[in-house]
Structure 1
Amino acid sequence: MKFFYSTIYKIKFLFILLLSPVFMPFVSSQTGGTLDNSFATVGFTSFGFPQANATCSAAALQSDGKLILAGQYISGNTGTLAVVRLTNIGLPDSTFGLNGQVLLPFSNVNVEATTVQIVSDGSILIAGKSNNLPLLIKMSQTGVLSGNFGTGGILSFDNGLSGIIDLILLEDGKLLGCGKKADQFCVFKRNEDGSEELSFGIAGFSCIDAGPLSVLSRMTLQADGKILLTGSLNATATKNDIVVMRLTKSGSLDNTFNNTGTAVLALGNAGTDEVGNAIRVQKDGRIVVAGNFVDSSKTKFIVVRLLPEGVIDTSFASTGSVIVAFNTTKDEAKDLVIQADGRALVCGTTNTGNGSNVAMVRFKTDGKLDPNFAGLGKISSKIGNRANGEVVLLQPDNKIIVAGYAMFSNQNRFMAARYNPGVVVGTNEASKKKLSEIVLWPNPIQPGNKIYVQGNFTSSEQLRIKLTTLDGRQVHNWAVRAPQFENQVIELELPADLYPSAYLMNFYSNSISGGKLVVID
C-alpha cells in the first residue's frame, strides 16, 4: 500500500535534515597526514604482476570515486603497460578488465605511462611512450579498447617527440599534450579521435627552444587557457635552474609572462641544481612549482611561487621559495596539488638508508609548514620494504590519495594509499552556498520518473551524485559532467523500485560536497 507523507511530516523531515551533519560538506576529524583505515583496512593497498617488478607512474580519480592506476613492467623483451582500477575502498574492481586489470604488451621494453585522464563519458585516456614514440591509449569504462580512437584504441605518432610527458583533457574534449624534441619543449593538440588539430601552432605542434640538457617535466593550464610548462634549463656549464614557460592558447610564447615568456629561477648558488617536477595554478592566478634542490650532499624538496606575471612572489616564505629536507641524503618531490583552502600539498619519496618511504609536505598559503598536518607539516610514511610516491590526488571529501609503487617480498608492486586531510578550512561556506543554490524538481516525485537538477556548478566539472537513505545506505548513483554554463539543467532518471520515503541526493565534486532532501511518494 502506498505511503503518503503529510505536509507536517515533510516539514519535520526537512527541519531535522537541515540541522544534520550530512548537509555539511565532509570535513575529516581525523588527524591530518594519518593513513585512512577505511581504505583497504590499513590505509594502503598494493597490486602485483607475476614474476615482474612493476612501477605505477600515473593515476586519476573517476567521478564515482574509483581510482585508476597506470604503469609498466618488463618481462623478457616485452614491455607491458598495465592499468588497474580500484574501488573507493581500495579493492580491485571486478567490473574492469579481468579481475580489475588490463594488460597491454608491446614488442619493446621502452614502455611507460605518464598521465591518465578521465573523459566525460567515463572512458579512460592514457598517455606515455612506446619505443621512444608518443603513445595514446583510449579504453571504455570497462577496460575495452576504443575502436573509434587511433588503431583499435591505440595511437602512436612520430613528430620527433621521444614520448608524451603530460596530457590535459580540454573542456571541448580535445587533447593537449607536451613532450621533448631534441633541445625543444613541444606542445601539441589533437582532436577527440586522436587526429591532429591543425589550427594549433604549426600543423598542431608548437616547439620552443630550451637549450642543451634541458628537462621538461609537467604542464598545466591557467583559467584563461594559457599553457604553463616546467622543468629545468642548463643555465651555466655547471648549474641547472627551474624554468617556467607560458604559451598562449594558440601555442606561441606569451611575452606578457616575465617579458619573454620564460622565467628561469636561479634559486641556489653556483654549486646547486634545481628542477621543477610539478606545477599548479592557485585560484588567484599565482603559480606554484614543486621540485628538487640538489647541493653537494643532499637532494631536497623545493617549492617556489610566482605571481601571475612570472616574477617570484616574495610573500611566499618571505623569499618566494622554501626548501624542505627529511634528514636523509635524497628526498625527491614528484607531484603537487592545491587544496580548496589554498594550501599546497607536495608528495614524493624520501630515502631512509635501507629503503625509501612515501614523503608528503603541506604548506600554508604563506609558505610556512602546516602544523595541522602530522604536527610538523611533513610525513614519512613506511609502506612495504620501500615505497615511492609518484602522484598525489584529492578526493571531493578532501582525503588525499598517493599513488606509486612499493616493494613487498622483493617485488615492486603498484601502490595506492589514502590519508586523512584533517580540517580543510575555508571550504565550508563556498560549498554550502553552492549546495543552497541547487534546485530539484519535481519534489516530491514518484519512482521511475525524471528529476531535474539545476545549480551553479563549475563549468564542465566531474560531478558524482548519490541517492542514499537517511542512514547513509546508497541506493543509486550517477556520474555526470556538470553543464558548461551556469544554471543549465541536469536530467536524472530515478529507479523504478524506490520505496516511498525520504532520501538524500548527495553531490560530490571539486567544489561541493553535501546533500539535498528528495521525497519519493
Structure 2
Amino acid sequence: MNMNVKSKGALGLATVSTVALLAGIAWAAEGAGMLDASFGAGEDDGTPAGVVSTSLGNGDDMAEDLSVDADGHVVVVGNRHNGESNDIVLVRYTTDGSFDAGFGVGEDDGTPNGVVNISLGEGNDFGTAVAQQADGKVVVAGYHEEGASTNIVVLRVNADGTLDQGFGTADDGTENGIVNISLGDGNDVARDVALQADGKIVVVGDSVAADGSSNIIVARLNADGSVDEGFGQSEDGTPNGFVATSLGNGDDKANSLVLQADGKIVVAGNRVADDGSSNIIVARYDAAGVPDPTFGASGDDGTPEGFVNISLGEGDDVARDIALQADGKVVVAGDSVSADGSSNFVLARLNADGTPDDGFGVAEDGTPNGFVSTSLGEGNDYATGLAIQNDGKLVVAGYHQEGDSTNIAVARYEANGDLDQAFGTADDGTENGIVNISLGDGDDMAQAVVVQGDKLIVVAGTTTATDGSKNIAVLRLTAQ
C-alpha cells in the first residue's frame, strides 16, 4: 500500500559516574519527565543523579539498545573500542544505576564485573539490539566484519554474562554461544531482535544482494540457535530460515520489529524510492515468513501486498522504531525532512490492516491525520526509540541538533498524538511535552527507550566526554 503524502509545511579502568547537566533544568522539581534522583546517585562530586555515564577505556563506548528485566536491572548493548577494533559490549546496571557485580564475573576481558566484552575475532564487532528471556538469559543481535564484508551475529549469554554453551553449536567458525550468518558475498547486518513465546528468535536487518542493492532480511532461529527450517520457505535466493525482500532497485532496510500475539511479524524501516529519496516502509509477515496480504494493498509504486509505503514529502522519511498497541494498532517513530530542509520527529499510527489511523495526529502540523511531525527547534531532530506506556501514551527518544552539538531529547504524546502537556514542564527551552538534556559541550544522543512499569522511563545512548571520547549514557526519568 502506498501513502504518498505531501507535507504542507513545516581499556583502562572502567568508570561509572553521574554527569553534570548543562541545560539549566530544575531537576529537583516533581513531575513527569524529571530525572529520577534514585538512579545514579552516590557520586559525591556535586553532579545530579538520574544519569549514569560509563567509560570502558580510552576509546569510544556507545550504547545502541537496552532492556529492563522484571527486577529493574538495566541491560545495555553496544560497542566499545579496545584500542585496535570495536567489540560488542554488554553492561548490566542494578536498580540504582551501579554495575551489577553478579554479571560478567571472572571474564578475562579487561572489564570489571557488570560488563561483558565480546570479540569475535579480527575486525570490528557491533552489537545493535538486545532482548531478555524470562530465565535471565540475554540475546544480542549485531554484525561482525569478515574480511571486506559483514555477517549477521546472534549470541546468547547466561544470566551471569557467560556465553551460553547450549546456543549456536553449529560449525560456523564461532565458539558456542554465538551464531555467525553469511547470506552472500555482501554485507549482512542485523538491526533488531525479538523473542517469540516459544523461545524462537526473530532478527531483522538487511543484506546486500547480487546486484549490489540492500534487501530487507527477516530471519528466525530456534531456541538453540539453529536456523528454523520451517520459516521463509520461498524462492527468494535465501535458504530456509530467511526471507529477503526487495521493494525496487534501491536499498531497502529493516530497522525494527515487533511480534504480534498471533505470531505475525511487523517490521519498520525504509526504502529508496525511484526519485532517490527515502520512504518509510512498514511490512507484516505471517508466522511462516510470507508477506501478509491483509496488511496494506498494492500501490502504484510497485509495493506488494503486505507492505505500506509512506512518503511525507519530497525529502527523506525514515522509520527507526516500532511498537504495537494493545488494540493491534501499529505505531512507528522516526524522522522526516520538512519543507525547510530540516529533520523533524515523526510518528505514524496504522490500523491493524495497515491503513492510517485518522483519529491520530489531527493537529495542524503539516501532515495528514494518522501522522505527527514535531520540530524541537532550529536544527535537525531524529527519533530513534519508541515505547508505549500502559495508559497508551507514547514515549519517543532521540536527539536534537543544538548549534554545533546534539542534545538528548525525550517527548511524550497523548494517545491521540498531541504532546503531553504534563510531561517535561521544566524550563529547558522546549515546549511542554518535550525534555531537552545536554550532558556537556559535545554530542549527546539517545538511541533507545524503555518504559519501566508505570512510573519510570529509561533511556540509553551516548555522551561525549571532556576528552572527546564517547561514553555510554543511561538516564532514568519519571513517568508520573
Same fold by TM-score, threshold 0.5 exceeded? yes
Q: Once the 2 structures are TM-superposed, how far is the Cα of residue 187 of structure 1 from its aligned partner?
A: 1.2
Q: Aligned match of 2:177 in 193, 199, 204?
A: 204
Amino acid of the residue matched to residue 229 of structure 2? Answer: N
Contact (CA 8 Å) 2:72, 2:452: kept in 1 or not?
no
Measure, in 1, the Cα distance between the counterparts of 2:327 and 2:254: 23
Measure, in 2, the Cα distance between the counterparts of 1:359 and 1:167: 24
Amino acid of the residue matched to residue 205 of structure 1? Answer: I
Tell me, yes or no, if structure 1 residue 366 matches structure 2 residue 353: yes
Q: Which residue of 2 aligns with 1:135?
A: 89
Tell me, yes or no, if structure 1 residue 382 matches structure 2 residue 362: no
Q: Once the 2 structures are TM-superposed, how far is the Cα of residue 464 of structure 1 from its aligned partner?
A: 5.0
Q: Which residue of 2 aligns with 1:111?
A: 61
Amino acid of the residue matched to residue 393 of structure 1? Answer: A
User: Where do 5+ consecutive residues of structure 2 fail to align?
Assistant: 1-18, 41-47, 105-111, 170-175, 234-239, 298-304, 363-368, 418-450, 457-480
Contact (CA 8 Å) 2:68, 2:452: kept in 1 or not?
no
Q: Which residue of 2 aligns with 1:483?
A: none
Measure, in 1, the Cα distance between the counterparts of 2:355 and 2:342: 28
Amino acid of the residue matched to residue 195 of structure 1? Answer: T
Q: Once the 2 structures are TM-superposed, how far is the Cα of residue 410 of structure 1 from its aligned partner?
A: 4.4
Q: Which residue of 1 aligns with 2:413?
A: 419
**Structure (1/2) with the larger helix percentage:** 1
Tell me, yes or no, if structure 1 residue 263 matches structure 2 residue 243: yes
Change beyond 3 A, Cα 1:120–1:85: farther
Change beyond 3 A, Cα 1:85–1:317: farther
**TM-score, normalised on structure 2?**
0.68
Q: Once the 2 structures are TM-superposed, how far is the Cα of residue 382 of structure 1 from its aligned partner?
A: 0.8
Q: Aligned match of 2:397 in 393, 398, 403?
A: 403
Q: Once the 2 structures are TM-superposed, how far is the Cα of residue 408 of structure 1 from its aligned partner?
A: 3.4
Matched position secondary structure for 1:165: strand
Change beyond 3 A, Cα 1:267–1:282: same
Contact (CA 8 Å) 2:55, 2:61: kept in 1 or not?
no
- After superposition, the CA RMSD in angstroms is 2.6
Q: Once the 2 structures are TM-superposed, how far is the Cα of residue 395 of structure 1 from its aligned partner?
A: 0.5
Matched position secondary structure for 1:187: strand
Q: Once the 2 structures are TM-superposed, how far is the Cα of residue 333 of structure 1 from its aligned partner?
A: 0.8
User: Where do 5+ consecutive residues of structure 1 fail to align?
Assistant: 1-46, 52-83, 424-461, 467-476, 478-521
Q: Which residue of 1 aligns with 2:162?
A: 195
Q: Deviations over 1:299-348 (max 9, x none)?
A: 01011111111111111112111110110321111000011011111100
| Structure exhibiting the larger radius of gyration computed from Cα positions | 1
Contact (CA 8 Å) 1:230, 1:277: kept in 2 or not?
yes
Tell me, yes or no, if structure 1 residue 156 matches structure 2 residue 142: no
Q: How does 1:103-502 map to 2 (within 5 A)?
A: 103-131=53-81, 132-150=86-104, 151-160=112-121, 162-181=125-144, 182=146, 183-202=150-169, 203-211=176-184, 212-259=186-233, 260-268=240-248, 271-295=249-273, 296-318=275-297, 319-352=305-338, 353-375=340-362, 376-385=369-378, 386-422=380-416, 464=453
Change beyond 3 A, Cα 1:294–1:463: closer
Q: Once the 2 structures are TM-superposed, how far is the Cα of residue 153 of structure 1 from its aligned partner?
A: 1.7
**TM-score, normalised on structure 1?**
0.63
Q: Which has the higher contact order (CA 8 A, sep 6+)?
A: 2
Further displaced range: 153-162 or 302-311: 153-162
Contact (CA 8 Å) 1:305, 1:321: kept in 2 or not?
yes
Measure, in 2, the Cα distance between the counterparts of 1:317 and 1:88: 40
